[in-house]
Structure 1
Amino acid sequence: MDMSDDGPLAGARVATRLPAQDLERARRFYADRLGLVPVDERPGGLLYRCGDTEFVLFASAGTSPGTFTQMAVEVRDVDAVVAELRRRGVDFEDVDLPGFRTRDGIAEIDGNYPSKGARGERGAWFRDSEGNLLGIGEPVR
């Protein structure tokens, strides 16, 4: 059975869930550093809206491995966003791998996901207060 166009998840929305060992610490980080405030709160969780998408920080006894991008945000001007986040105290990751290196916190990435219609991406990564690795990307057309 081919479910590529009409599968059970075809009309679903995707919502990211990020673990937080300390929700109050995370709330302060997201407010002070990222300028985001929860749009809803429940015991053990904070719901945030970013553009027309949502993500949740949930209370967790486990820790994030922080070894891969757990959530990424697409922006129009990665240089301006990185500069503003740095001004707010966000530290960006330095990456130096074969074929993948950041310069002043931003990497030039060849290739991109076909659905974005871009030839590449410029990206930057940082960790939130809970160790989650978050990315910021700007498609290069």
Structure 2
Amino acid sequence: MLAKSPIDVMLTATDLAAAKRFYGDMIGLEVLIETEELVTFRCGGDSRLVLTRSTVRTDEQQTKASWRVADVADEITDLRARGDKVAEYDEPGLRTIDGVADVGFALVAWFVDPGGNTIGLLQFKDQGLA
């Protein structure tokens, strides 16, 4: 049953107004629901991104969500044009070149939202996985 149901990604934000501006203006998502405690955005297909108010900013660097994209380089060019900072990594096992890392099965880029959430952009090399 759940395998056929949509799922929403839920992230936290200490400043919902800043998060709303970031995802609405910077990323270009449409607001579906807004209350004092959450903002829900429409994403591709029937997916949604929900930001809930939190009193604590996340410090975890792990990827919290990823968009599947057709061309990661085009997406980061667009993000940079809107003023977003794409993350750069140069660590053992993870190195980006102009914001993009080749992780074997995919090309990946990341950015960090105002709540400290690391968000990925994922371009599968095998289009059958996309």
Q: TM-score, normalised to structure 2's length?
A: 0.88
Which deviates more from structure 2 when the two are superposed, residues 96-105 or residues 73-82?
96-105
Name the structure 2 match of 1:56.
50
Q: Which residue matches 2:7?
A: 14
Query: How far does the alpha carbon of each residue in 1:23-74 deviate from its partner, in whole angstroms, 9 at most, with x for none?
Result: 1111111122101131111231111111121110111112112310011100
Partner of 2:63: 69
Aligned length: 125
Deviations 1:69-112 (A, max 9, x none): 011100001111100000001111111122321000000111xx
How far apart are the structure 2 equivalents of 1:100 and 1:21? 29
Corresponding position: 1:124 with 2:117: no
Q: How many Å separate the matches in 2 of 1:66 and 1:93?
A: 14
- Indicate how the Cα distance of structure 1 residues 37 and 12 shifts in structure 2: closer, same or farther if over 3 A, else same: closer
Kindly indicate whether the alpha-carbon contact (under 8 Å) linking 1:27 and 1:37 is maintained by their aligned counterparts in 2.
no
Counterpart in 2 of 1:40? 33
Specify the code of the residue in structure 2 equivalent to 1:140: K
- In the alignment, the residues of structure 1 paired with residue 12 and residue 56 of structure 2 have an alpha-carbon distance, to the nearest angstrom, of 8
1:91 lines up with 2:85 in the alignment: yes
The amino acid across from 1:44 in the alignment is E
State the distance in 2 between where 1:91 and 1:130 align.
14
Q: Structure 1 length normalisation: TM-score? A: 0.82
Report SS of the residue matched to 2:63: coil
- Superposed CA RMSD in Å reads 1.5
Amino acid at match of 2:23: Y
Distance apart, 1:12 and its partner CA: 4.3
Give the secondary-structure state (helix, strand or coil) at the position aligned to 2:120.
strand
